[in-house]
Structure 1
Amino acid sequence: MSDAIADAKRALRAELRERRQLRSQSARDAAALGIRTQLDALTERFGVRSMSCFLSTTTEPGTREFVDAAVARGIRVLLPITRADGLLDWSVAVPGADITEGLFGMPEPEGELLGPIAVGDVDVLVIPAAAVGRDGMRLGWGRGYFDKTLGSMEGCPPVYAVIFDSEILDEVPSDVHDQPVTGIVTPTQTLDLTPPRR
Structure 2
Amino acid sequence: MAKVALRDQLLTARRRRALAEIGDAARKIAEHLLADADVRRAATVAAYVSVGSEPGTSVLLDRLREAGKRVLLPVLLPDNDLDWAAYEGAADLVSAGRGLLEPAGPSLGVEAVATADVVLVPGLAVSRTGLRMGRGGGSYDRALGRVPVGTTTCVLLYADEVLDHVPAEPHDRPVTAAATPDGILRF
Asked if Structure 1 and Structure 2 have the same fold, meaning a TM-score greater than 0.5 normalized by the shorter chain, the answer is yes
Equivalent pair of 1:77/1:92 in contact (CA under 8 Å) = yes
List aligned pairs for 1:79-118, cutoff 5 A: 79-118=73-112
Please list, as runs of the form range in 1=range in 2, the aligned pairs for 1:1-198 lying within 5 A after superposition: 7-42=1-36, 47-155=41-149, 157-193=151-187
Give 5+ residue unaligned stretches, structure 2: none
Measure how far apart 1:104 and its partner are.
2.5
Secondary structure at the counterpart of residue 97 of structure 1: helix
1: CA distance, partners of 2:52 / 2:80: 23
The two structures, once aligned, show a CA RMSD in angstroms of 1.5
Aligned equivalents of 1:76 and 1:95: distance in 2?
11
Residues 20-58 of structure 1, C-alpha deviations (whole Å, 9 max, x = no match): 111111111111111110110125665111110111113
Q: 1:196 — aligned with what? A: none
Unaligned runs of 5+ in 1: 1-6, 194-198
Tell me if the contact between 2:113 and 2:146 (Cα under 8 Å) persists in the aligned partners: no
**TM-score calculated relative to the size of structure 2:** 0.94
Structure 1 segments of 4+ aligned residues over 3 angstroms from their partners: 43-46, 152-156
8 Å CA contact retained: 1:97, 1:110 = no
SS in 2 for 1:104: helix
Q: Secondary structure at the match of 2:54?
A: coil
Deviation of 1:69 after TM superposition, in Å, equals: 1.0
What is the aligned-residue identity percentage?
Answer: 35
**Paired residue type of 1:184:** A
One-letter amino acid of the structure 2 residue matched with residue 176 of structure 1:
P
